[in-house]
Structure 1
């Protein structure tokens, strides 16, 4: 086991109370494995990775749980020990390369600095390694591009520079936070292929953070689905796509357009919005948006239980005491959940069309009054 996170909770004290951005999160990452963490914006994905890296901004803090990297308890490390670990054994590709790279320094200087921070090598040797890294990540003419400033590179090139910097000291774990954000599909495919190839060549593990399920299906070995700071489902990637269990996972997958879909129907959407972290609904956090919500969901929080060789947090699969239901009861509940989602697709589409028409009529009426006033 390379990385083991158990019952992690991360909090941010604010004027109106405590925001628990990560709540009781547990997962493991094995050497050479690609684990994806998916969910909407605000689900706690990035905060989880920053907690592991020890890069939480004040006043954020790890309130509970444990994080072990190769058996070392990260919570007990001093800042000096953490700095030696970061960039050396653990590295991170941040979400936006333009803001992560220093705009006043050449990219080569930044990679050289990362190498020399952790290893005792000369500037010449570090520069040669930086050129080799740029070549490895697919940057053409690395001998020339090493002296470019970040603004002289495209978004895809800057992302490759960030990957090269993260790989400078051959880390055992690479955390990639939305590595393909704002990139076109061609560059996105190249970056993902690069991550897979580097995993195969070096044996490093990758913790991939994304909201794009297409990226997950092409890249990951296992998937952790997060919602409102909690893990709601964990499974092998094929099992999750073939048989989603949690209604939130089902909603995410049904929201993806498919060529075989009936074009007479609107695309499915998960109703509502992610709740305010200071005003979470009682019981299950997803209850207000769930098509299969039951009475117990509004009063009691479900536990993360093992069901069918995977983990899920939902009362469709467990009773009030936290025990897994029988296979027959689970099959019946799943069939009802799929039917509920299909019914919601029809109803919500009609309601959305009517609501949109009413808003449009009101706007036209208001516009007519304004024109009369001008005359």
Structure 2
């Protein structure tokens, strides 16, 4: 087991109250595995990744739990110790490559900085490594393009540069936060193919953060669905797409356009909005948007339970509830 997150909670203390962005979540990632975390904006996906990386900005803080990487608790490490792991053993592709890359530094300088810091290479060796990684991620004429500034590249090229930077030190774990956002479908396919190829070449694990279930179906081995900071469903990718259990997951899948669908019916849309994190409803946070809501759902928070290797947080599958009995009959 490469990464184990145990009962992680992350919160932001604001003047109007405390927002629990990540609420008591637990999961694992094995070596060489691609785990996807999906959910709407505000579900806690990116905050989870920033918590793992130790990059939370104030007023954010980890309120509880453990983040074990190779059996070491990252929460107990100093910033100096974390800096030896970040960019080296754990790397991250950030959501916006244009804002993540320094606009006044050439591409080569930005990658070389990381390589020279973590791999202790000379400037000449670091340049050779940089050109090698740009070539690996499919940048044409890498020796020439290494001298470019970020604004001289397209969105897809910048995303490849971010990938090259993240992979330059051969990490054990790569966190990819929305790596295909704002890219056309052709470039999306290329980026996903690149991640898969890098996984095969370097044997690294990937934590893929996305809201796009189409991306998940193509790339992931296992899927976690988050809603309002909690894990509501977890399964391997084939099981989740073939037999979704939580009504939220069902709604997400029903809202995906199907190529072979010839009907004139509009796409399914989950009713309502994600609740205000400062005024969370009692019980299940999805209850007021759920088409199958039980009375119990508005009063109690269901526990995450495992059913035949498939984890779900829903009273519909509880043997002691009316909905659960009906579901199992």
Under a length normalisation based on structure 2, what TM-score does the superposition of the two structures give?
0.98
Tell me the SS of whatever aligns to 1:80: helix
Residue 258 of structure 2: aligned partner: 258
The structure richer in helix per residue is 1
Mapped partners of 1:127, 1:261: distance in 2? 51
Residue 205 of structure 1: aligned partner: 205
Residue number among 327, 330, 336 corresponding to 2:327 in the alignment: 330
Residue 176 of structure 1: aligned partner: 176
1:23 aligns to 2:17 (yes or no): no
CA RMSD of aligned residues (A): 1.3
1:245 aligns to 2:245 (yes or no): yes
Mapped partners of 2:320, 2:300: distance in 1? 8
Mapped partners of 2:130, 2:320: distance in 1? 57
Mapped partners of 1:275, 1:49: distance in 2? 22
- Give the drift of 1:260: 3.5
1:273 aligns to 2:270 (yes or no): no
Alignment of 1:288-307 (within 5 A): 288-307=288-307
Under a length normalisation based on structure 1, what TM-score does the superposition of the two structures give?
0.86
Mapped partners of 1:74, 1:124: distance in 2? 33
- Give the drift of 1:331: 3.6
Deviations 1:8-54 (A, max 9, x none): 10000001110000001111000000000000000000000000000
Q: 1:60 to 1:234 in 2, by over 3 A?
A: same
Residue 47 of structure 2: aligned partner: 47
| Structure 2: tracts of 5 or more residues without a match | none
Tell me the SS of whatever aligns to 2:56: coil
Alignment of 1:200-239 (within 5 A): 200-239=200-239
Equivalent residues, number: 328
Tell me the SS of whatever aligns to 2:317: coil
Mapped partners of 2:262, 2:189: distance in 1? 28
- Give the drift of 1:259: 3.0
Mapped partners of 2:141, 2:9: distance in 1? 45
Deviations 1:201-226 (A, max 9, x none): 11000000000000000000000000
Residue 341 of structure 1: aligned partner: none
Flag the structure with larger Rg.
1
Mapped partners of 1:329, 1:274: distance in 2? 28
Deviations 1:62-97 (A, max 9, x none): 001111000001111000000100001000000000
1:132 aligns to 2:132 (yes or no): yes
